[in-house]
Structures are given as C-alpha cells and as structure tokens.
Amino acid sequence: MAKKYDAIIIGGGHNGLICAAYLAKAGKDVLVLEKRHIVGGAAVTEEIYPGFKFSVCSYVVSLFRPHIVRELNLAQHGYDIIPMDSSFQPLHNDVGLCRWGDGARSRREIARFSKHDSEVYGEFGKVMTHMARLAKEVIDHPAPDVASINPKELASLLRMGKVFKNLGPEMLQMNTKLLTMSSADFLDLWFESEVLKGPMAVSGVIGTFLGVRSPGTAYVLLHHYMGELDGAFRSWGFSKGGTGGVSDACASAARSYGVEIRTEVAVSHVKIVNGKAKGVVLANGDEIESKIVISNLDPNRTYLKMIGENNLDADITTEIKRFKMRGSSGKVNFALSGLPQFCKGREGDEYMRGDIAIVPNVDYLEKAYDQAKYGEFSERPFINIVIPSLTDPTLAPPGKHVMSCFVQYAPFDIKEGPEHWPQLSEKFGDAVQATIKEYVPDFDSLVLHRQVVTPWDMQETFGLTEGNIFQGELTLEQLLFQRPIAGYAKYKTPIDGLWMCGSGTHPGGGIMGSGGELSAKTILNDKAI
Amino acid sequence: MPIGTPFHERTEEHCKNKDWKDWAGFFTANSYNVVNDFEYFAFRHSAGLIDITPLFKYKITGADSGSFLSRLMTKDISKLRLNQATYCCWCDNRGMVVDDGTVMRLEENEYFVTAADPSYSWFNRFVKTSDVTIEDVTETMCGLAIQGPTSRDILKKMCDADLDNLKFFWTTKAKVDGADFFISRTGYTGDLGYEVWTENENAIKLFDAIWAAGKGYNIRMAGIAALDVARIEAGLVMNGVDYHSSLHALTPAQMSTPYELGLGWTVNLERDSFMGQKALKKEKKEGSKWATVGLDINWPELEEIFNEHNLAPHTAAGAWRDSIPVYHRDDVTRQIGYATSGTWSPAVKKNIAMATIEAAYAKPGTKVNFEVTVEHQRRTVSAIVEKPQFFNPERKRSNPKK
Ligand SMILES: Cc1cc2nc3c(=O)[nH]c(=O)nc-3n(C[C@H](O)[C@H](O)[C@H](O)COP(=O)(O)OP(=O)(O)OC[C@H]3O[C@@H](n4cnc5c(N)ncnc54)[C@H](O)[C@@H]3O)c2cc1C
C-alpha cells in the first residue's frame, strides 16, 4: 500500500518549506510537492545567462523573522544576509541623493535639498522604529479573531492592545494617522522636499494597485523600520548567492528534520471526501494520501483550483473572488559586461551598493500610476535597482555584474488583455531600459542579456495569480483577521484538514517566513496531526 | 606612544574615521569607517584584510627546536610535519596558561611562533644547553590576515602558490613581484582564511598585490572591532579578555588551565615531560573547577524587559568585553560564573557571550540567568549554555572539489 503522510504541502515556496520544517521538527512525516524544477517560488536564484545568477523575482530580504533563523538553525544551513548600507536616488543634472547608515553623512546629503528635512530625518527614523514594535507584535502572532469570545483570542487582542496603550497618546495619534493616511500625505507631515519624499513614499505602494496618494498606504512604511527591531540593525540585505539562498537554507533545514521534497510534481487538486481533505491528486492523475494538506498557494488558487467551487459555499466563493490580487509590477534583470555609472559626479561605487531608486519626486510616481489606471504600463516607471554582484562577487564573473530592476507599474490587466503580455514583454523591457538610459547614457553597450518578467510570467511561471507579488495585495482591508477572508484567517479553510501557509495568509507577503511558521505552530497547537 | 606597522601608509589611507588603537605598541585600526559592520560582513561574505603585524612573532631554529617546543607547548610539536601549523597554548609548571598562539614548521629545523604577549624571555628560560636559537622577529616581520569566502580566490590571483590544495592549518611559500612571503591557512575569524607573513621591506608590495587582486572580490579593510565579533561567533578565546596569562595574574583565581579554557584538545598528555604536565594530568583525573562556555542569551525575554520601558530592544553595537555575572537558573543571588565578552551574532541572529562558569553548569543545554542592564536597571534574563563555537561554516576547512 502506498505511504500515507501526516502532511502534504502543496508548493515549495519558502513558506511551505518552513512550515514543513517546523512540522517535521515536531516529529511529523511531511512531503512537499513543488511544481517547478527548483524550490523557492518567488524567492529563487536561477542562472538565466551562463555565469550570471539572477534573483529572478524577489531580490532583497528585510523582514525575515530572526527567531525562525534561530529555531530552525538556518545559519548552519546557509542562511546568510549581506546588509545594504545605502539608498541612492539619481537625479538629472545633479549628483542625486544618497542616504547612508552613517547619520551625519545622510544629514549633509539631505540638507542639499532641505535643511529642515535633514534635521527631521533622524527623528523620523526613531519614531518609526518605536512604532514598528506594534507591527512586529502583529506579524509575530496569528491574527486575533475580533469576533471571538474565546479567552485565548481575547488574550492575544489584549497583548496587541497593551502595545498600543504603551505607545502613549502622541504616538497613538501618530499610529492612527499611519493606519488611515496615504504614504505621501503622511510624509508631508514631516518633510518638505519632494525629492526626499519620492523614494520614501514609494515603499507604501509596493505590490499594490494603489498610488502614493491613496489612503491606507502609509501603514506599510512601518515595515521598513522593523528590521531594526530584530537586532539586525540594518533593515535590508541581499541573500548570499541570490534570494534563492534563503529558500535553499529552508529546504536544507527541512530535509535535516526528515522532510521529503519532490520537485517537478504539480498538484491538480486536493482530494476531498465528505468535506474533508484526504490527500492530493497530481496533475498526472496519481494520488497521494495524507492526514492533512497544507497549501502554499495564493488564496485564489487554493480556494478555486485546489478546493474547487463545487466544494465551496457560494458566498465564500464570492468573497474569495473579491480578494484583490491585482498585480502591478514587473521585473527586468540584466547581465552586464561592466559596472554602470549612475552618477558621474560621485567617486567609486559605494553609492551603488545598496538600492538605486528611480523616482525623482512624488509626482513622478503619481504620473506612473495614472497610466496604469488606464491599463498601460508606465512609460517612465518607478524602478528599484540593485546590483548585488558588487557586494556578492559570487553572482557574476569578476568585473561583470547582475542588475535587478523591480518595476512599477505594470498592471496585469493591461488594456489589450493580460494574455497579450507575452507580445508586450519586450516593449516593456525597452521602456525600462530607456528610463535607465536617461541616467546611464552608455547603458546599452553594457547589456549582455536581458530577462523580462511580466505579471503574466509571474502567474504562468511562478503560480502567482494575476502576478500579485504578495499573493494578494497588502492593503489594510486584506490584512490581519481579514487575510484572506474573515473567519478563515487562522490558516484554516472551509475544508476540514486543509490548511494554508503562504503569503496570502496573515501576516502577508514578503520573504518573512511567518506564514510558514505560524501555520505550523497553529496546526501543532490544534493537534490537527 | 605606539608606532605604525610597515603597512601604515596604506592602512592610514583606508582608515577614514581615524579610529586607531594601541595594539602591543603599534597603531592598529579599530575600525576603518563610522559604519563598520561591513568590515565584519566582509569576513563572512567576501574578504576582510587585517593588519596583524602587532602579534609577537618568533623564529625558533636549531637541531633541537622541535623537541624544545614540545617541552614548552601543551601540544606535541615533534609530531608537526614540514609546512604544517597548529594552534596550542603553553603553561607554567602549575599547568596555568601563559599564552596561546600558532606554531608553524617552516623548515626541517625552523619554526615560526605567534603569541599575544612578549614571550622571548619566557621561551629562553628553557633553552639551556640545547641547540636552539630564538629570534624575536616581531619588529622585522609583518603580517596580514585575509579572511572570508573569497580569500582563496584573491590569493590565487596574486601568487602562484597551490592554494586549492592547501589544507586548513598548513603553510606554503610564495613569491610576489620577486619578494618572498609565506602563507598559512590560519586565522581568528572561524571562516575560510589565510595569514600572510613577510619581511618588513616587502610589506607594501605584498599589500598592494593583495589589494589589487581583491578588487573584483569585494575585499575590504577590517579592524579589530570587526575581528572581535567574528572571533566570538567562532568561539575563540582571547588572552587578556577571556583569560589572563598566569605571568600577569595577581592571584591564583585570575589564572586558568587549558581545560578550563576549552583548550583541552590542544593538550597531548601522554608523552615526554612538558611544562605543566603533572598538574594537567592531575586535573584531567580529578576534573576542572571552571569551564569556558558559550551563552545563548534569550532575546524575547530581553525584548520583554525593553517593552516594559516602552522601548525597542537594543544591544551594544559590535562586541563587548565587560565582566557580566552569570547566575544559577533558580537562584539569581547565586553567582556561578561570569561572561567575559559577547556580541549580537549577525550570522546566527543570537545574542551570544563567552563565559567562565563553574564546571558543574557547563553542560550544553543547561539553563542559567544572565544579568542585563536596561534603562539603568539591573535585571536578569535566561540563557542557555552552549559550546562556545556558534558559527562554523564548512568552507573553513574544506578545499575545492577537483
Ligand atoms: C517580482 C517579485 C519581487 C519581489 N520582491 C520582494 C523583495 O524584494 N523582498 C521581499 O521580501 N519580497 C519580495 N517579493 C515577495 C515575496 O517574494 C513573496 O511574498 C514570497 O516569496 C512568497 O513566498 P510563499 O512561500 O508564500 O509563496 P510562493 O513563493 O508563491 O510559493 C508557492 C509555490 O507553490 C508552487 N506551486 C504553485 N502551484 C503549484 C501546484 N499546482 N503544485 C505544486 N506546486 C505549485 C510554486 O511554484 C511556488 O514554488 C517579491 C515577489 C515578486 C513576485
């Protein structure tokens, strides 16, 4: 008789692997099934062009939970993050603005644009770090169920309440503003320079189909200050060997606890008998049995493909369909024969070792968004560029470089229709390259290879419905007890024995590991296996 | 007043923040930049270059040099093969550690010894009538440590030594631009790394060749502050910080034996007599009083205390070297040891320390209490006793596969 597992995890994204590792560490017999030839999902490294290793999708790590590193011994399995020191914003006819880890240095840079802002900048960072404690409290625990009178739920609500209360009245007010305002408006409360506000505001809209002036986008700014709380003392970093390094470390840890990982095995759907998950049915028709099934896929795929509408109440189907997945970003990766110079007026390459943000001011972002609203990709998009080979020479041959460009906006629902993205792909790549050329005139001569990843590719290759990079937008109404839908925010689904662990669950997207960790802990707490 | 090392004209160019320290009478960069954690990360991700000239260095030659060193050191140096190196310590006749360092066999009858303290007179006391000459080369030879995952590639690019086959704790000779130097696969970071040694007059040539070769491999200058973080993660003890040489100790309580320092593995007991042998045999039989351990200090508990003060958790940037009490798990008035140095470990994301603790509590997994000061108040959080080595990547010992 074929083997029956305690748990089968559909999808080998980093969350699936972490969930598997925690369950196996607790003695469970776990199988991970991944559709692609490598694990990692949106966190992968691939050698797209010989000798050049690309972080194909996600490219920087900031929120990965340090307690997961400790609990799963990930450092021994190769988890290794290289911090980034600077954020550079090139400008036409100017040396641009570079913000550094060195406070005095940043102050002098900002003072070129606004003396006032240069003095407020440090204070802003301090206040945001202080308030980020709240975000941390939210991220590191399952979402409390507000409608419940179960004492356990109340306790977790209280804990959150305590952090709120301890913030003090001024901070509480600030917090309310953070939750309700747009990122641009919130920054207006502090800063006057449109140049400085540009790159700061944009972090509020990454992965959403919203603009920097859309209400509710301020909250996500907090996430940028959380790294400080984790004792990492620097928010953003590169994973050594590319982002896939994180997934590989998770896979290696999972295997060390006995997890079995199979790649190139696509799951067709969950086997459901009398409303209970009994295992999975593979694309080739084979069946594998298990006591429970955990889906690492986004809510849309989990509910509509893995479960299927036949097995769901109509109102749940409606709600899931309402869950916003609108992809809005693309990715363009370059293999370069040499180092581009984003600023002639700056010496050395130090200023390019962090991220480079093409966002000259706030209006630029709003304009880019305007085009997207009407179903076009932005001709002059926001681009977040990193050249990780500068700090991690293992990614490219000596003297050569990989350059990763995260681009927004590139709406999934392009006016020609999403299925037309493959024909638009190169045109989109050209727009990105033309934007870069405005700052690096000789850029074309450096390009050895260009890889364009459109929202359509993210859906078709990486299994992200509508190309949403976070398995569902990170907007307030889709967070906490509402992620993915009210009543099923604690990694459960309407199907008995079917759980979720991906970014589409609380606390959301990004390479954090939280979905994997918290789902496993919830499953173990519930004695589901 | 300290003096510059032969590399000073180069290190001075790099030392942007003028953070100099006196290391054994030489100017040494504590850090090279205001934001200096990248110097540490160079050890773990690319390559960090450290001027280690201030180490005390001795050349020991003569037909009896091998047996002489065997008598002096806890390790049986006569077993050392040509070009091999070893780490060990040396004791007084009470079995108390005088110093620790590296011994390298460069020729049939020539050894190179590094030490933290001046050791010429201590070594000389034991020469007596044997055919041994000790030459203090501290001021005539200089050294650089190049440590980190790309260090091998860099050295391969700047010289023709067969580094792909050079094993952990072995040495090889090399030439750069006509000048002789030698390379040992040793270091103080617990990572892949090498130390290169040469006569003072070759210093700049050697430095420039390494620096030029390192360009495509993200080489960085690294200071003592960064080194301290790396060596604590690697669980390497430091003379003058984690223990005191018995020659400088004012009371017996300030002295330590190799076993107490976790250096028992460097002691070859069963052989011809050597300094401290009798006492060490006795200790081995009867057990040690103290042990050196690693502490994994509970982060969530520390976070909670900061929370009480409405603050985000915070630790000192970089490594610290204060004595901090360690208490019994059930009784926070019963002190059972003291931490001597510690750091937030960026590699394993733990708040760690190295501690001297009563031997009864030294078993990995033992729970203890650790003193912390938060907002001027002394509190305790729990900590777990571990082996001192928190980070030990495979690349430290491995060679490229053929
Ligand atoms: C372009 C892009 C850029 C990003 N940039 C960043 C960034 O810089 N920093 C950051 O923190 N986050 C970033 N993100 C977000 C982050 O990468 C994701 O939130 C995170 O990786 C999701 O992990 P996951 O494990 O939840 O799911 P996924 O990574 O989506 O994993 C799901 C897995 O399931 C597999 N799968 C799908 N269908 C099936 C099936 N039927 N059978 C079997 N397996 C299946 C998929 O192949 C995939 O491996 C980015 C995302 C994208 C797309």
Average pLDDT of every residue of chain A: 91
Whether the Cβ atoms of residue B45 and residue B347 lie closer than 8 Å to each other: no
User: Is A418 an 8 Å CB contact of chain B?
Assistant: no
Phi, psi of A146 (to 5 degrees): -65, -25
Contact (CB<8Å) A67/B299: yes
Residue B321 has what pLDDT?
A: 95
Which residue's CA lies nearest to atom 51 of ligand 1?
A469
**Domain boundaries, position A429:** 326-460
The response to whether residue A244 sits with its C-beta less than 6 Å from ligand 1 reads no
Q: What is the pLDDT of residues B134-148, one digit of tens each?
A: 999 999 999 999 999
Within a domain: A303: yes
Nearest by Cα to A342 from A378, A385, A382, A401: A385
* Helix/strand/coil for A38: coil
Within a domain: B372: yes
The response to whether residue A364 sits with its C-beta less than 6 Å from ligand 1 reads no
One domain for residues B203 and B307: no
Q: Please name the amino acid found at residue B391.
A: F
From edge to edge, which strands make up the β-sheet containing B219-221?
B171-176, B179-184, B193-199, B141-147, B47-51, B219-221
Within a domain: A49: no
Contact (CB<8Å) A80/B218: no
Structure tokens that stand for A259 in this block: 């997890």
Residues with Cβ within 8 Å of residue A145, at least 6 apart in sequence: A153, A481, A489, A490
CA of B121: how far to CAs of A113, A171, A486, B2, in Å? 63, 65, 78, 22
Q: What is the pLDDT of residues B98-128, one digit of tens each?
A: 999 999 999 999 999 999 999 999 999 999 8
Measured in angstroms, the CA of A66 and the nearest CA of chain B are apart by 6
Q: Give Cα A428 distance to the centre of its chain.
A: 22
Q: Write the CATH number for B32.
A: 3.30.1360.120
One domain for residues B347 and B375: yes
One domain for residues A330 and A454: yes
CA distance linking residue B349 with residue A73, whole number of Å: 10
Residue B317 has what pLDDT?
A: 82
As a whole-number percent, the residues of chain A with pLDDT over 90 amount to 73
Contact (CB<8Å) B217/A75: no
Q: Which residue among B307, B312, B349 sits closest to A66, beta carbon to beta carbon?
A: B349
CA distance linking residue A495 with residue A316, whole number of Å: 12
Measured in angstroms, the CA of B369 and the nearest CA of chain A are apart by 19
Total domains, chain B: 3
Whether the Cβ atoms of residue A493 and residue A302 lie closer than 8 Å to each other: yes
Whether the Cβ atoms of residue A109 and residue A199 lie closer than 8 Å to each other: no
Pick the range with the lowest mean pLDDT from A108-117, A160-169, A334-343, B20-29: A160-169
CA distance linking residue B206 with residue B144, whole number of Å: 9
* Helix/strand/coil for B299: helix
Residue A131 has what pLDDT?
A: 80
Residue A172 has what pLDDT?
A: 76
Question: Predicted confidence band at B242 (pLDDT cuts at 50, 70, 90)?
Answer: very high
**Domain boundaries, position B373:** 289-386
Residue A235 has what pLDDT?
A: 67
Q: Write the CATH number for A449.
A: 3.30.519
Within a domain: B98: yes
Tell me the chain A residues in contact with residue B38 when contact means C-beta distances shorter than 8 Å.
83, 85
Which of A460, A480, A500 finishes a domain? A460
Q: Say which DSSP state B239 is in.
A: B
Which residue's CA lies nearest to atom 16 of ligand 1?
A510
Q: Say which DSSP state B378 is in.
A: E
Residue A208 has what pLDDT?
A: 82
Nearest by Cα to B357 from B283, B277, B278, B294: B294
Q: Tell whether the model's pLDDT for residue A229 goes beyond 70.
A: no
Element (H, E) at A386: strand A382-386
Structure tokens that stand for B201 in this block: 């007059």
The response to whether residue A41 sits with its C-beta less than 6 Å from ligand 1 reads yes
Q: For A226-252, what is the mean pLDDT?
A: 80
Pick the range with the lowest mean pLDDT from A293-302, A503-512, B63-72, B177-186: A503-512
Nearest by Cα to A527 from A33, A140, A26, A8: A26
Q: For A98-107, what is the mean pLDDT?
A: 92
Within a domain: A360: yes
DSSP string, A236-293: -EEETTSTHHHHHHHHHHHHHTT-EEE-S--EEEEEEETTEEEEEEETTS-EEEEEEE
Nearest by Cα to B16 from B281, B223, B270: B223
Q: For B238-243, what is the mean pLDDT?
A: 96
End-to-end CA, chain A: 21
Pairing of strands A447-453, A329-336: antiparallel
Q: Write the CATH number for B92.
A: 3.30.70.1400
- Tracing tokens 């972090």 back to the chain, one arrives at A203
Pick the range with the lowest mean pLDDT from A208-212, A513-517, B218-222: A208-212
* Helix/strand/coil for A88: strand
CA distance linking residue B130 with residue A358, whole number of Å: 73
A38, A328, A432, A469, best to mutate for ligand 1 pocket (most atoms within 8 Å of CB) = A469
Contact (CB<8Å) B347/A167: no
Atom of ligand 1 nearest to the CA of A60: 8
Work out whether the CA dihedral B114, B118, B123, B128 comes out positive or negative: positive
Contact (CB<8Å) A70/B46: no
Q: For A258-282, what is the mean pLDDT?
A: 97
Contact (CB<8Å) B38/A85: yes
Q: Which residue among A129, A232, A391 sits closest to B45, beta carbon to beta carbon?
A: A391
Q: What is the pLDDT of residues A35-90, one digit of tens each?
A: 999 999 999 999 999 999 999 999 999 889 989 999 999 999 999 998 888 999 99
The answer to whether the bond into B327 is cis (omega within 30° of 0) is no
Q: What is the pLDDT of residues B329-358, one digit of tens each?
A: 999 999 999 999 999 999 998 999 999 999
Q: What is the pLDDT of residues B174-222, one digit of tens each?
A: 999 999 999 999 999 999 999 999 999 999 999 999 999 998 899 999 9
Q: What is the ipTM of this complex?
A: 0.84
CA of B167: how far to CAs of A363, B102, B150, B183, in Å? 59, 15, 16, 11
Q: What is the pLDDT of residues A123-145, one digit of tens each?
A: 998 888 878 777 777 788 888 77
As a whole-number percent, the residues of chain A with pLDDT over 70 amount to 93
Q: For B257-262, what is the mean pLDDT?
A: 98
Residue A207 has what pLDDT?
A: 79
User: Is A351 an 8 Å CB contact of chain B?
Assistant: no
CA distance linking residue B369 with residue B382, whole number of Å: 4
Q: Write the CATH number for B354.
A: 2.40.30.110
Whether the Cβ atoms of residue A449 and residue A335 lie closer than 8 Å to each other: yes
Residue A397 has what pLDDT?
A: 93
Within a domain: B346: yes
One domain for residues A155 and A210: yes
Q: Tell whether the model's pLDDT for residue B359 goes beyond 80.
A: yes
Residue B310 has what pLDDT?
A: 83
Whether the Cβ atoms of residue A495 and residue A277 lie closer than 8 Å to each other: yes
Phi, psi of B256 (to 5 degrees): -140, 150
One domain for residues A70 and A137: no
Question: Predicted confidence band at A214 (pLDDT cuts at 50, 70, 90)?
Answer: confident
Region at A446 (left for phi over 0; alpha for psi -120 to 50; beta for the rest) = alpha
Residue A438 has what pLDDT?
A: 96
Number of other residues whose CB lies within 10 A of the CB of residue A149 = 7
Residue A275 has what pLDDT?
A: 93
Number of other residues whose CB lies within 10 A of the CB of residue A15 = 34
Q: Tell whether the model's pLDDT for residue A415 goes beyond 80.
A: yes
One domain for residues A346 and A430: yes
One domain for residues A297 and A219: no
The response to whether residue A31 sits with its C-beta less than 6 Å from ligand 1 reads no
Residue A139 has what pLDDT?
A: 82
One domain for residues B48 and B98: no
Within a domain: B393: no
Structure tokens that stand for A515 in this block: 């979905």
One domain for residues A318 and A330: no
Q: Tell whether the model's pLDDT for residue B44 goes beyond 60.
A: yes
Total domains, chain A: 3
Q: Say which DSSP state B359 is in.
A: G
Residue B16 has what pLDDT?
A: 94
Q: Tell whether the model's pLDDT for residue B314 goes beyond 90.
A: no
- Tracing tokens 């919203």 back to the chain, one arrives at A210
Whether the Cβ atoms of residue A48 and residue A449 lie closer than 8 Å to each other: yes
Within a domain: B246: no
Q: For A257-265, what is the mean pLDDT?
A: 98
The response to whether residue A509 sits with its C-beta less than 6 Å from ligand 1 reads yes
Q: Write the CATH number for A496.
A: 3.50.50.60
CA of B76: how far to CAs of B68, B70, B89, B270, B271, in Å? 10, 5, 11, 10, 8
Within a domain: A521: yes
Q: What is the pLDDT of residues B260-313, one digit of tens each?
A: 999 999 999 999 999 999 999 999 999 999 999 999 999 999 989 998 888 888
As a whole-number percent, the residues of chain B with pLDDT over 90 amount to 93
User: Is A85 an 8 Å CB contact of chain B?
Assistant: yes
Q: What is the pLDDT of residues A152-196, one digit of tens each?
A: 666 666 666 666 666 677 777 877 888 788 999 999 999 999 999
CA of B225: how far to CAs of B73, B189, B194, in Å? 29, 12, 19
Structure tokens that stand for A420 in this block: 């037309």
Structure tokens that stand for B112 in this block: 């190179």
Q: Tell whether the model's pLDDT for residue A509 goes beyond 90.
A: no
Which of A460, A494, A509 finishes a domain? A460
Work out whether the CA dihedral A107, A111, A116, A117 comes out positive or negative: negative
Which of A172, A201, A234 finishes a domain? A234
Q: For B379-384, what is the mean pLDDT?
A: 98
Within a domain: A50: no
Q: How would you label A245-263 residue by residue, b for 16+ Cβ within 10 Å and e otherwise?
A: bbbbbbbbbbbebebbbee
One domain for residues A499 and A413: no
User: Is A337 an 8 Å CB contact of chain B?
Assistant: no
End-to-end CA, chain B: 50
CA of A237: how far to CAs of A60, A129, B36, B95, in Å? 6, 18, 15, 47
One domain for residues B274 and B335: no
Number of other residues whose CB lies within 10 A of the CB of residue B79 = 12
Number of other residues whose CB lies within 10 A of the CB of residue B349 = 22
Whether the Cβ atoms of residue B165 and residue B400 lie closer than 8 Å to each other: no
Whole-structure pTM value: 0.91
One domain for residues B314 and B179: no
Residue A25 has what pLDDT?
A: 98
Number of H helices and E strands in chain A, helices first, is 15, 18
DSSP string, A130-172: HHHHHHHHHHTSPPP-TT---HHHHHHHHHHHHHHHHTHHHHH
One domain for residues B265 and B380: no
Nearest by Cα to B17 from B48, B2, B38: B38
Contact (CB<8Å) A231/B315: yes
The response to whether residue A331 sits with its C-beta less than 6 Å from ligand 1 reads yes
One domain for residues B17 and B151: yes
Q: Tell whether the model's pLDDT for residue B95 goes beyond 70.
A: yes
Question: Predicted confidence band at A359 (pLDDT cuts at 50, 70, 90)?
Answer: very high
Pick the range with the lowest mean pLDDT from A244-248, A379-383, A509-513: A509-513
